[in-house]
Structure 1
């Protein structure tokens, strides 16, 4: 390289670096100003939500001053959006409209679609206040289309809320509630607390217009909670005003007057700030006349021209510098290629490790599934002995006192089976993969059975159980009685465990009845140790109790309340807790049921119709490896004059069917040697007529087709109800006789 060029090149590099550094400083300065504007506008929006209008105005003034200083039309438009919200809150609707239209004009011109959606939402709200309903609806629909197109889910909830407010303004509460319900999950997912509170107050208003007073009260309570938590004075004022109207409808005029006074008190405190003065101050500080704006635009144009001249002078220098940069770039590319090769090698090694980890995770998952299947079978097998022996003892003419205890034992066995299933499948429950049953049942009797089962533990702790059941609740409901029992046993058992020498109240009331549906409220209240405010949020998590001391003193796994929460979520409800340390606790939840006469098979009723004489002297082969279960099944059959033969495993069963004549086979599945399924397949090779019923403790979630495909006629899961057992036997035997 020539010597002069060697001398010039470092100078050129220094000039380029200085130019780049100055540009970087300018970019950093702009970034800091824009960040400050965003912070001021966020503060202003929060202050408007909390009715702190002077504070909001101050933040907007700072934001606009910075936007004008930086000559940034994007942020001027953004400031006008928030300013429109302030004027709307101040009651100056025309000024609000003027400001938002200015923002919309700029955003449309520069195709800023995301901010345009937000501006259109504000404009739609303003048009609703101006009673220009058609224009408001079109504007909100345009805003919603933009949010869906550009996937701005955080704005979608607010737009749907404003659509609900529009429907409410048009005196269409049903449509309003529909919009509110569709927006609530979105608003909730983005923690938009002010919008959520505003939604609840207006939904409560719509419910009141539809004369759904109890639902209006519950919804207004939710709004009041948010208003108090986040200090939204306007929300609390609206809630009190709505309470006043609700109580007036209920003819509770004293409560109505108290609520109205609370509403007026908040309104008075809000209006201590003179809104007219703030309006004048906003105009003085923020309204720039056209000449000033024009001067700023000309100044900006002048600055741009000067920048263009500077850039022109530097073009030649940069062209020369570009040659040097390309040379450096070539060197950099060479080094990068070497680095990329090493990175690819590392990536391949990582991929190999990830594949190995994936295979290990899959094996662990398979092992977990196998463990759950095995442990389910092993727990259900002894539980079959408990329920079977209970049935046999009930058949031995027990005394009334013994019969009550045996019935409690029978009910507890059923509950234990449900509990085993839920604990073993807790991960499935939390993933919402557990299905609800839908059968008819007597709720009052179901709760009575729960209280009988828990009466001894209550008596042991010297507690009194008080049961208040609303007699207007229909006797027959459609739902999942086992899950209802599990919820109540966990909650009532929890109250008994944490109460000594006290009282427990169980209250069930009818909230509402619509056509063939009833809405019920459940309360379980105790006078026990109570739960601190700090622990009330975590008490429903898995394996959580109030404290280590509570765990040591009272015992338990800490799973009960978690299961309750998940079960109620599955039933579209949620658990609420009211408690104070040392003063007891109250758990509340609501459930919806259908009024229904069950048309499905009622095995207890069918058992009454069974002709047991027709089953007398029938020969049944029981294939079962567990000696206790053999004894129980044999005793139950022989008490009804059925001839019973036993095979200890599948091989013996196949041979016995070849050598003897049987009317029916009861086949276990898990046995030493060949399984029950394999034994049935072998029997079907030479005898296709004999009924084979699977009597098994295997989990049947997804295996039903496998049973029927391999030759089984029916399935009885263990432990079973005796009525179901004989109903299925009778059905199989009578069907065999008719064929």
Structure 2
């Protein structure tokens, strides 16, 4: 039975702690007292099996909980209503209440109550013939109670194992069922309080399962233990079940006298506890009782007439009651049929909504896959041409602008990757790089990149930099650049003829870490209190008017929030409408072991002399990309040939010697993957690198399976480009 007589005590304790830590208003306090009172009345009525009164009180408590937005009491109400309807066998009414209780307890993180919800819902599923669907809910309850250490949690976990075992037994998975029952037994034996009823049920199930597996000795042992507990604690149903099991076990052991003895005792006890004897015995008992009460007055004809009248009235009354009962059943069946139709309609709507959501997700993934490649391809030209121009002895003024262009290109590439790979960013799967870098140089680069746009709006950028900050720190340099560009750019966007202050201060420092505080403050438009809560959401700005006036996607602050979260920090905001805004955050960075001559970011160990004279084949259909890749290679005195597509590449490799192939993936005709697979049919050793703008729907492992030795994602850093070429040639012993 789901209704526990101890539930009243538990509920009293629970209600006494609802809202602990918050001081409700007088009106809220009065309403909470009223809800508690109704719930207690309901529980008391449940204990007395007065279910109509219990339902009425608990439904009133539920309505008041909804009105006062008291989710905890609403969840309790739903759980109690579920238990009542379960006891009444009205499972279709119990289902929606327990599902709502699960939802509320999940939101409230009330794990013990959530575990009970899962167990209750699993029993409803079992009763309605959905045993397999009940298993996941029992497994959820198992996870919850495994993490608890109190006495009640052990009992609940044992109950969960018992129900799981029953399901596996029903599914004919007896070995799995026996494991669950044994785990339940072990837990119950560890509990200090006696849970004899539950232990007796476990012994019975262990006995039945061992019997099914042909393990007769343990089956007899468990059946005997269950029988002893049922006798000592007056559990009639369990006693009858134990006698039946003992009879079957002795029969399988070919101990037929003992089997017959227990079978006779089983029939006797079953009739005693749950039914009358046969009709002859019953009729005899009735006749003897009548004869014992006959006297002379019973033969009076007047009294006989009066008795007949009373009998007629009773028959009419009985017939009327039966008619009313039939009418009530008819109405209930109609209501149940309508409820089933409504549920089926809602399920159909949910299925359609699910299909639409899945289609939208596929369309989104396809769009992101296409746009990723389309954006990265021109970015390759931007970064590649910037590198080439920097290597052609520009003037100091030109070099300054090219450095700014290179920095902006790196930032834009990172922004493209983060925005387009939404699934990766939202799942917090973007990796934080740990590189040594100069923070002051990074900040200066950001300010230089944004200086012109600030001047155009009449704004002044002012940096307040703590000189105590070490020259070289360890962290992700690109992430801090992205964060500052977004915050300073945001301040510049909403400020005109004003000031933007960038403050970076060291809060503390030890031998291995420095703790830094960053602030970006502007004297611009400011943000209202109402909008401050939503400003860090995707595609959110202060208002439609602000969007039209200042432009932008509304993604900048959302990206800032996510990037800081990846670095175990968070963005905070202080703002007054019309006076400006201040964004601030704190980050911990590691310290480099040596400050002197510390290289910034990654160091690539490349023997450029060994690369000179090596012959490479570049397979690329984009003419600009061909030119850039060729020039970068030839600048290092490497020989380079170009193939416009995969078919030409295959023929060139077949008839000409090459030290390495750089293969694009997306080309007209056959793809780079197909071309590589065909080359591998006649040349297993030639190093082939994928030089491609990888899309989000491509699995990196597929490249290696196709025969590629490595992947160089476009656009790339030139140092990384040569580093991968050098490694590939070295692994194949082309160079030493």
Do Structure 1 and Structure 2 share a fold, with TM-score over 0.5? yes
Residues 71-96 of structure 1, C-alpha deviation per residue, up to 9 Å, x if partnerless?
9999xxxxxxxxxxxxxxxxxxxxxx
In 2, distance between residues paired with 1:506 and 1:619? 50
Shift of the alpha carbon at 1:334?
4.3
Alpha carbons of structure 1 residues 320 and 43: separation in structure 2 relative to 1, 3 Å: farther
Match of 1:737 in 2: 734
Residues 566-619 of structure 1, C-alpha deviation per residue, up to 9 Å, x if partnerless?
222333322222222332221111112233469xx9898755x53333222211
Q: Residues 134-213 of structure 1 correspond to what in structure 2 (within 5 A)?
A: 149-150=112-113
**2:577 aligned to which of 573, 577, 581:** 581
In 1, distance between residues paired with 2:316 and 2:433? 80
Match of 1:499 in 2: 495
Alpha carbons of structure 1 residues 510 and 325: separation in structure 2 relative to 1, 3 Å: farther
Aligned residues of 1:41 and 1:63 also touching (Cα < 8 A): no
Question: Which sections of structure 2, spanning at least 5 residues, go unmatched?
Answer: 1-11, 45-78, 80-109, 117-312
Alpha carbons of structure 1 residues 444 and 369: separation in structure 2 relative to 1, 3 Å: same
The two structures have a TM-score, normalised by structure 1, of: 0.55
Q: Which has the larger radius of gyration?
A: 2
Shift of the alpha carbon at 1:324?
3.7
In 1, distance between residues paired with 2:699 and 2:314? 75
The two structures have a TM-score, normalised by structure 2, of: 0.56
Shift of the alpha carbon at 1:381?
0.2
Alpha carbons of structure 1 residues 330 and 715: separation in structure 2 relative to 1, 3 Å: same
Aligned residues of 1:505 and 1:525 also touching (Cα < 8 A): yes
Aligned residues of 1:41 and 1:59 also touching (Cα < 8 A): no
CA RMSD of aligned residues (A): 4.4
**1:488 aligned to which of 484, 488, 503:** 484
Shift of the alpha carbon at 1:339?
6.3
In 2, distance between residues paired with 1:606 and 1:563? 28
Matched, 1:539 2:535: yes
Residues 153-201 of structure 1, C-alpha deviation per residue, up to 9 Å, x if partnerless?
9xxxxxxxxxxxxxxxxxxxxxxxxxxxxxxxxxxxxxxxxxxxxxxxx
In 1, distance between residues paired with 2:371 and 2:414? 14
Match of 2:509 in 1: 513
Residues 612-650 of structure 1, C-alpha deviation per residue, up to 9 Å, x if partnerless?
332222110001111110111011111111111111111
Match of 1:669 in 2: 665
Shift of the alpha carbon at 1:535?
2.8
Q: Secondary structure at the match of 1:510?
A: strand
In 2, distance between residues paired with 1:707 and 1:591? 37
Shift of the alpha carbon at 1:443?
2.1
**1:403 aligned to which of 399, 404, 412:** 399
Shift of the alpha carbon at 1:412?
0.7
Alpha carbons of structure 1 residues 699 and 602: separation in structure 2 relative to 1, 3 Å: farther
**2:444 aligned to which of 425, 441, 448:** 448
Q: Residues 298-697 of structure 1 correspond to what in structure 2 (within 5 A)?
A: 324-334=320-330, 336-337=332-333, 354-355=350-351, 357-426=353-422, 428-514=424-510, 516-596=512-592, 606-607=603-604, 610-697=606-693
Shift of the alpha carbon at 1:486?
1.2
Q: Secondary structure at the match of 2:621?
A: coil
Aligned residues of 1:43 and 1:59 also touching (Cα < 8 A): no
In 2, distance between residues paired with 1:692 and 1:567? 35
In 2, distance between residues paired with 1:388 and 1:44? 62
Q: Residues 21-100 of structure 1 correspond to what in structure 2 (within 5 A)?
A: 49=23
Shift of the alpha carbon at 1:150?
4.3
Aligned residues of 2:474 and 2:592 also touching (Cα < 8 A): yes
In 2, distance between residues paired with 1:389 and 1:439? 26
In 1, distance between residues paired with 2:550 and 2:610? 54
Aligned residues of 1:543 and 1:559 also touching (Cα < 8 A): yes
Match of 1:279 in 2: none
Residues 277-315 of structure 1, C-alpha deviation per residue, up to 9 Å, x if partnerless?
xxxxxxxxxxxxxxxxxxxxxxxxxxxxxxxxxxxxxxx
Aligned residues of 2:610 and 2:735 also touching (Cα < 8 A): no
Alpha carbons of structure 1 residues 460 and 327: separation in structure 2 relative to 1, 3 Å: same
Alpha carbons of structure 1 residues 689 and 507: separation in structure 2 relative to 1, 3 Å: same
Alpha carbons of structure 1 residues 515 and 449: separation in structure 2 relative to 1, 3 Å: same
Matched, 1:727 2:697: no
Q: Secondary structure at the match of 2:428?
A: coil
Match of 1:181 in 2: none
Alpha carbons of structure 1 residues 436 and 605: separation in structure 2 relative to 1, 3 Å: closer
In 2, distance between residues paired with 1:324 and 1:479? 85
Q: Secondary structure at the match of 2:491?
A: helix
In 2, distance between residues paired with 1:486 and 1:605? 19
Q: Residues 7-18 of structure 1 correspond to what in structure 2 (within 5 A)?
A: none
In 2, distance between residues paired with 1:63 and 1:353? 40
In 2, distance between residues paired with 1:318 and 1:570? 80
In 2, distance between residues paired with 1:43 and 1:663? 74
Q: Secondary structure at the match of 1:411?
A: helix
Residues 98-149 of structure 1, C-alpha deviation per residue, up to 9 Å, x if partnerless?
xxxxxxxxxxxxxxxx9xxxxxxxxxxxxxxxxxxxxxxxxxxxxxxxx864
Residues 333-380 of structure 1, C-alpha deviation per residue, up to 9 Å, x if partnerless?
345556656766676676566545544433332232122111101100
Match of 1:274 in 2: none
Residues 525-554 of structure 1, C-alpha deviation per residue, up to 9 Å, x if partnerless?
122232233332332232222233322222
Match of 2:238 in 1: none
In 2, distance between residues paired with 1:520 and 1:685? 56
